[in-house]
Chain A
Amino acid sequence: MGNLSLNKVCKSFGQVDVIRDVDLEVKDGEFCVFVGPSGCGKSTLLRMIAGLEDITSGDVCIDGSVVNTVPPSKREIAMVFQSYALYPHLNVRDNMGLGLKQAGQPRAEIAEKVDRAAKMLDLEKYLTRRPGELSGGQRQRVAIGRAIVRKPKLFLFDEPLSNLDAALRVQTRIEIANLHRELGATMIYVTHDQVEAMTLADRIVVLRDGRIEQVGAPMELYNNPANEFVAGFIGSPKMNFLNAPALSQPGRSLGIRPEHLTLSRDGGLIEGRVSHVEHLGGETLIYLRAEPHGLITVRLFGEHAASVDDRAFVTPDMARAFHFGDDGLRLAA
């Protein structure tokens, strides 16, 4: 079991409120991702769940019991840190086994659990090495292994991929997804990278300034964002926000994703000039400057020729457009 529920959780450092009235239910076996810009409080929230930060008010419950004052080691959680946080003076085996040793488990049992986790993560060859002798990816796998051996109710990941290079990040991302399928455990994952959030999550929690902006499945957030912030945060490249009054549309801005715009040389709704082109092979991103909308990103699939200063027209697919009011909220369709 691994149900987590947060009831009206708040956190302040002195006068500054970092987490404000967060309510959230995470079901057993769910992969839940906290995402948001830096400083939005997502890591703080994770630390509060782990018991590493005090809770100013509200309750954190794991499997129905309030754990506000339970020390981290007694919450049956495991955490993977961005900086790996491996004990530099212990070898891989002892790093992974320390928590169990501390809990007083018999040595043979610890060895067996460590071996099993090491096999799962392809670390068997490195068990006698120290963290200093491992590469970044291996260190992160050891950190994940340290979490696995504890058989926790909750796995907490604090930006575990941020220190890895791009290729390794994709690979480790897939490994984490596989791990979740294999273990079926509840996982809470913090990231500022919306691609990680989209690819890993069953459910995404978008945070801003210590508040939950929207909770939902990745495609729900993509297809049905509640407000301008979520619309702009989810999806890559970022959604365009056009000047709605200039297009005689309701609301303040018209949100349209770069993939839902069509480009034409001959005519269309908005006229602009190409200011930059990015050829990625599989797709081409064309940046168009059009007043009064500013820079518009157009995403075209395949290869397209275009050069800077060309005149071009774009037309939004109105069926995929979102209207946002002055307060940033979606207008009812």
Chain B
Amino acid sequence: MSARANILRSSAAHAILIAYTILALYPVFLIVINSMKSRRAIFNDPLALPTRETFDLVGFHTVLEQGNFLLYFQNSLIVTVASLFFALLFGAMAAFALAEYRFRGNLLMGLYLALGIMIPIRLGTVAILEMMVAANLVNTHWALILVYTANGLPLAVFILSEFMRQVSDDLKNAARIDGLSEYRIFFTIALPLVRPALATVAVFTMIPIWNDLWFPLILAPGEGTKTLTLGSQIFLGQYVTNWNAVLAALTLAIFPVVVLYLIFSRQLIRGITRGAVK
């Protein structure tokens, strides 16, 4: 009786999860299949799979030949990886200090650093632009990296300081007695132990950066620093939109995110479930 109820319950849970997965993946699936169809086929029957007659890679050809696609791709990758690296590094360092050292204003500092979670950074766009102009950073990768690092820090500090507190004090003290410097304690002991949390923060930080259109448009619209998202916009015209090219560009843009996600995902699951089961 109870075994049957269990099967019912778990199949119901799976049904809901599968339905949600389909709902979430279907748009992505549509983009991918349509990117491989001819223009006419996209409009005639957007939900159909590409057939022998409708299969057409013209979108990919356009993207690779016309736009400076590889350069945009490279720009996006540089900006995302560098921002991710700095946000995680400085976020983890701040989190370590907040969790580890007793100093006056520790709590206030923690709250101050976490404040950014609630305030959208785009509110400061004008000031940021003025600063970037003054610092001569417009149309450089650094403009974007600095902004994204700042934007990613609050969440990183907030999540990581909680995890840093769970790193055993005894372990850090043992390392101090063994003569390790505070930096080595941070890098060789604390950081590896919060790896799951790092992965979680990395995924949450990475995706908005990769997808962002706002700051590349304002701070780095030059041909040499255009990111992928901004670069794809050339196919979206006011009157005519090259859907083949847009869909092909989007399809290509999905892959790096998927690859990075796969790298982090095992750690991510551990990060989310840690504390729940132990």
Contact = CB atoms under 8 A, between A and B. Distances in A.
Contacts, number: 58
A136 B189 CA distance: 21
Interface string A43-86: 00001001110000000000000000001111001110111111
Interface in A6-53: 47, 50-52
B193 interface: yes
A88 interface: yes
Contacts of B173: 47, 50, 52, 72, 79, 81, 85
A87 B179 contact: no
- Could you tell me the dominant secondary structure of chain B's interface residues? helix
A102 interface: yes
Nearest to A100: B178
A102 B193 CA distance: 21
B105 interface: no
B168 interface: yes
B115 interface: no
Nearest to A89: B192
A103 B179 contact: yes
A328 interface: no
Contacts of A88: 192-193
Contacts of B168: 83, 85
A98 interface: yes
B176 A52 contact: yes
B203 to A, nearest CB: 23
A235 interface: no
Interface string B185-199: 000110011000000
B178 A102 contact: yes
B170 A73 contact: no
Q: Give the residue among A73, A74, A78, A85 with the most B Cβ atoms within 10 A.
A: A85
Interface residues on B, range: 10 to 19
Given A82-B170, A83-B168, A83-B170, A72 B176 contact: yes
Contact of A99 (B170, B177, B189, B192): B177
A263 to B, nearest CB: 46
Q: Give the residue among B171, B173, B176 with the most A Cβ atoms within 10 A.
A: B173
Contacts of B180: 73, 98, 102
B175 A87 contact: yes
A85 B171 contact: yes
A86 B168 CA distance: 10
A86 B171 CA distance: 7
B177 A98 contact: no
A73 B176 contact: yes
B179 A99 contact: yes
B180 to A, nearest CB: 6
9 contacts: A52-B177, A72-B177, A73-B180, A83-B171, A87-B188, A89-B188, A98-B178, A103-B179, A158-B170
Given A78-B177, A99-B177, 10 more contacts: A72-B177, A73-B176, A73-B178, A85-B174, A86-B174, A87-B171, A87-B188, A88-B193, A89-B188, A102-B178
